[in-house]
A = this chain, B = another copy of it.
Amino acid sequence: MVGQEIFSEALLSGMAEVFETMMFMSVEECNEMYEAIEGEALLSSITFKGAVEGCLGVRCNLNCAQAIARNMLGSDAGQTLSEEEVVDAMGEVANMVLGAVKARLADSVGDIQVSIPTVVKGKELINSLGEQSFEVSKMVHVDEDVAHIILLYRFTTQAN
């Protein structure tokens, strides 16, 4: 069975690559000092199937989501984007990050089939895959904001 550190490393470096190359934003794992994600937040998630199946999620508050969407769209710093534009951008973030993670995991777990992203708005959001799943969860600084990246996964009967 592929160790958790393989998934953890793929998640963090995949996220950093996407944010640095597509949004020109830095991603750094938080040390113990960071602000919790409070109030209304978005959780963008995308599922995958294969020898490993699961769900990748990116969760952040609305301010951080606006900043990510502005950087993706090349908008001015002061501009407020529509909720639909932000939802689209956050869905695309999950899609791109999973693409980068998939490439990193290909040697360990083989190919995975990726679904389409969806975005949930709400408070105190926690996503889960149910029993017998593993979780890699990291708080990261995205420039000055804080985001939470989560990779939930389980090995299927196809796996070794």
Contact = CB atoms under 8 A, between A and B. Distances in A.
A125 B115 contact: no
Given A118-B127, A123-B124, 12 more contacts: A45-B118, A47-B47, A55-B118, A84-B128, A88-B130, A115-B115, A119-B127, A119-B128, A120-B125, A121-B124, A121-B128, A123-B123
Interface in A106-149: 115-116, 118-131
Count of identical protomers in the assembly: 2
A104 interface: no
Interface of A: 40, 43, 45-49, 53-55, 84-85, 87-88, 91, 115-116, 118-131, 152
Contacts of A53: 116
A88 B131 contact: yes
Given A49-B115, A115-B49, A43 B128 contact: no
Nearest to A91: B130
Nearest to A121: B126
A127 B129 CA distance: 17
Given A88-B130, A88-B131, A122 B119 contact: no
A130 B87 contact: yes
A115 B129 CA distance: 12
Contacts of A43: 120, 122
Top 3 A-B pairs ranked by shortest CB distance?
A115-B115, A88-B130, A122-B125
25 contacts: A40-B124, A43-B120, A47-B47, A47-B116, A49-B116, A55-B118, A85-B131, A87-B129, A87-B131, A88-B131, A118-B127, A118-B128, A118-B152, A119-B130, A120-B120, A120-B126, A120-B128, A121-B124, A121-B125, A121-B128, A122-B123, A122-B124, A122-B125, A123-B123, A123-B124
